[in-house]
Amino acid sequence: MKPIVLFRPNSKFDFVGRRRWFFMLSALLMVLSIGAYIDHGLNYGIDFKGGIVIEIKTDGPADMAGLRSEISGLGLGEVTLQEFGSPDDVMIRIEAQEGGEGANDIAIQTVRSALGDSVDYRRVESVGPKVGDELKQAGIYAVLSALVAILLYIWFRFEWQFGVGAIVALAHDVIATIGVFSVLGMEFSLATVAAVLTIAGYSINDTVVVFDRVRENMRKYKKLPLLELLNRSVNETLSRTVVTSLTTLMALIALYVFGGQIIRDFAFAMIWGVLVGTYSSIFVAAPTLIYLRVRENVFGNEDDDKTAAEGSATP
């Protein structure tokens, strides 16, 4: 059985030659993402801002007005209810209670007493505001630590220019993901942080494949201009990059559609991350090397087995 090949290795797409247009598009996306974050911020979930989440299943379609009236009358502060998955699944969110987790536990018991045994409790979570602040700080450290570790790894494996190019692409992906969550007002939780870290790993995997081909071609075609060499490298890995992304997207879309409300935000973040990660690996990471002036002889002094004429015939 022949492997799937969407693009031939000798394709001649001029990705690097049109880098200014792609950089302008990326810059616009970054500005919009940062602007949305400054203007709207993020819709932090209970994990980060503290509070109570209770998921219940009612016997038949839920009476949302009756439930909202009953729980709002308990004096627990801000209360929001929403259906998810089906009309008999309800998520109840209650603001963090003054007095820490002990007060939150009392609030949970108050809600249970009010609703009684007429509903099925699927999930009950309580997070104090202090714990939420600690988790938010830990999430920021986790993302920054991952980016630094990736920079050091790429620097060690290739050269510092490649490390910087990889970090530029990763920062592009992370900022774009945070931006889309800010624009859409979707809940940003610990699961989303996990998705951001997974996106970073996925994106760097694609980028390393491209960079590895760049390194091979630098050894093979020393007389080929850098722009043409980068174009050749991206085109040679294009089919692998796109096929991998498409198969990953198939699994993520199935997870988004059939995985239920609990996993939906994570799946959405991953879908978006795969899209922007694939884009950055092709249109951002490799073209960045042009501006970083990567040296064409940096990977050794092997004899050039290809003539300049053969190299010039490539894209």
Give all domains of the chain, ordered by start, each with its CATH number.
19-44+132-312 (1.20.1640.10), 51-127 (3.30.70.3400)
What pLDDT score was predicted for residue 43?
82
Joined tokens for residue 34: 């940062």
What pLDDT score was predicted for residue 239?
83
Report pTM.
0.72
What pLDDT score was predicted for residue 263?
80
CB 45 within 8 A of CB 188: yes
Q: Between the CA atoms of 200, 205, 211 and 212, what dihedral angle is there, to the nearest 10 degrees?
A: 160
Specify the length of the chain in residues. Answer: 315
Buried b (16+ CB within 10 A) or exposed e, 60-99: eebeeeebeeebeeeebeebebeeeeeeebbbbbbbbbee
Burial-class residue 16 by CB neighbours within 10 Å (0-12, 13-18, 19+): buried
Looking at residue 194, its amino acid is: A
What pLDDT score was predicted for residue 143?
82
Q: Give the C-alpha distances (Å, rounded to integers) separating 164 from 49, 105, 177, 212.
A: 34, 48, 20, 15
SS3 content of the chain, % helix, strand, coil (to 5): 65, 10, 25
CA-CA distance, 249 to 223, in Å (whole number)?
39
Hey, is 53 helix, strand or coil?
strand
CB 176 within 8 A of CB 30: yes
Joined tokens for residue 84: 């998810």
- Residue 259 carries which DSSP code? S
- Residue 61 carries which DSSP code? S
Average pLDDT, 10 consecutive residues per value, the chain (315 residues): 60 80 90 90 77 81 80 78 76 76 80 81 75 77 84 80 85 90 85 85 84 84 81 85 88 86 82 90 85 61 43 42
Q: Report the relative pairing of strands 86-95 and 79-84 from DSSP bridges.
A: antiparallel
What pLDDT score was predicted for residue 7?
62
What pLDDT score was predicted for residue 28?
93
Backbone phi and psi for residue 310, each to the nearest 5 degrees, phi listed first: -65, -40
- Cross-strand pairs, 120: 57
308: number of Cβ within 10 Å: 12
Q: Between the CA atoms of 270, 276, 277 and 280, what dihedral angle is there, to the nearest 10 degrees?
A: -170
Hey, is 150 helix, strand or coil?
helix
What pLDDT score was predicted for residue 315?
40
Q: Which residues contact 74 (CB under 8 A, 6 or more apart)?
A: 107, 110, 111, 114
CA-CA distance, 233 to 286, in Å (whole number)?
9
What pLDDT score was predicted for residue 298?
52
CA-CA distance, 16 to 2, in Å (whole number)?
30
CB 130 within 8 A of CB 62: no
Backbone phi and psi for residue 311, each to the nearest 5 degrees, phi listed first: -65, -40
What pLDDT score was predicted for residue 250?
92
